[in-house]
Amino acid sequence: MKISKEFRVGVIALGSMVILYFGFNFLKGSDFLSSTNYYYATYPDIGGLTISNPVKINGYVVGRVKEIDLMAEKANQIRIKMEIDDELAVTEGTKALLKDDGLLGSKMVELQIGKSNKTLESGAELASALEENMVAELQSYIPELKEQLDTTLFQLNALLKDFNGVGGKVGNLLDTYNSVGVGLKGTLDDNRQGLTATVGNLRSLSASLSKMGKEFEPVVGKMNAFADSLSTLELKQTVANANQSIAQLQGVLKKVDDGEGTLGALVNDDSLYNNLNALSIDLDKLLIDLRKNPKRYVKISVF
């Protein structure tokens, strides 16, 4: 059986349309390989939430926003349909929190699972809540930031005015410094020859002193050797004299200890001490008797 070209083109076109449909829905977040449950939530304002935005639990994607419907009969509130993996047990008390998904302004739905053990059937209505918009929260700080910015700008302007005055003083100081530099340069130019000659003389003097120092080094060495010899000689003579004096003193002390000479006799013989002691006693008795009986010793005649 021969297939016509028209039939083959039709089959290809139909297959392309089917692939395009399923591909588009897959890109929107629909998963055809897993079963899902559907839950609803109603908000007064979705703030830019769109179909296929994620539904998450603790940052993990568990579903997508399937449909968004405007309910004119309920004050234009918006009801969303969420497609959620049936493996997730959505219990009573679960709340659908509409919040920002990052700083780029995209939205997401965060499921806060209830603590009840009763699981909700597919198609149930979940309690809804809105998280404060991050942009709105930042806008609440704008007046305070504006006031602080105005104060900072005012202080900056005052500082710049003060800096302008300081800048003028710095400019005058730099002008004075330039004048001093010009005068110093002129002085150096006028005395350049004299300074060159002075530097040359100093170099010559330094070279002469260096040469003289080298020539004087042997003389200093000889003087040091002579001083060392003289010091050694005087020390030897002094030590010899001291030794001789000590030897003589030891000889005298030995003679005294042996009883030789008058000093030795006085030191070693007690008879002289005893005689002197007896003489002192007799003399004392004589003086006492002289004081009591002066007529016995002295006779006075009066003419």
- How many C-beta atoms surround the C-beta of residue 80 within 10 A? 24
Q: Looking at residue 16, what is its pLDDT?
A: 87
Q: How far apart, in whole angstroms, are the C-alpha atoms of residue 99 and residue 129? A: 9
Average pLDDT over residues 15-31: 72
Banded model confidence at residue 173, pLDDT cuts 50, 70, 90: confident
* Mean pLDDT, rounded, of the chain: 79
What's the Cα-to-Cα distance from 293 to each of 173, 284, 287, 289, 296, rounded to whole Å?
Answer: 118, 14, 10, 6, 6
What does DSSP assign to residue 296? G
**Domain range annotation of the chain:** 1-32, 34-133
Sheet arrangement for strand 95-100: 36-43, 77-85, 60-71, 54-57, 107-112, 95-100, 127-130
pTM for this predicted structure: 0.39
Q: Looking at residue 192, what is its pLDDT?
A: 74
Q: Each residue of 94-146: pLDDT tens digit?
A: 999 999 887 677 899 999 999 989 999 999 999 999 886 555 555 666 777 77
Q: Looking at residue 137, what is its pLDDT?
A: 58
DSSP 96-108: EEEEE-STTS-EE
CA 43 to chain centre: 55
Share of the chain above pLDDT 90, in %: 22
Banded model confidence at residue 226, pLDDT cuts 50, 70, 90: low
The answer, yes or no, to whether residue 183 has pLDDT greater than 90, is no
- How many C-beta atoms surround the C-beta of residue 129 within 10 A? 14
Banded model confidence at residue 166, pLDDT cuts 50, 70, 90: low
Q: Which has more pLDDT, 297 or 10?
A: 10
Average pLDDT over residues 210-214: 74
Q: Each residue of 58-104: pLDDT tens digit?
A: 889 999 999 999 999 989 999 999 999 888 889 999 999 999 887 67
The answer, yes or no, to whether residue 265 has pLDDT greater than 50, is yes
Are residues 115 and 59 in contact, defined by beta-carbon separation less than 8 angstroms? no
The answer, yes or no, to whether residue 303 has pLDDT greater than 50, is no
Q: Looking at residue 11, what is its pLDDT?
A: 81
Backbone phi and psi for residue 38, each to the nearest 5 degrees, phi listed first:
-120, 135
The answer, yes or no, to whether residue 40 has pLDDT greater than 90, is yes
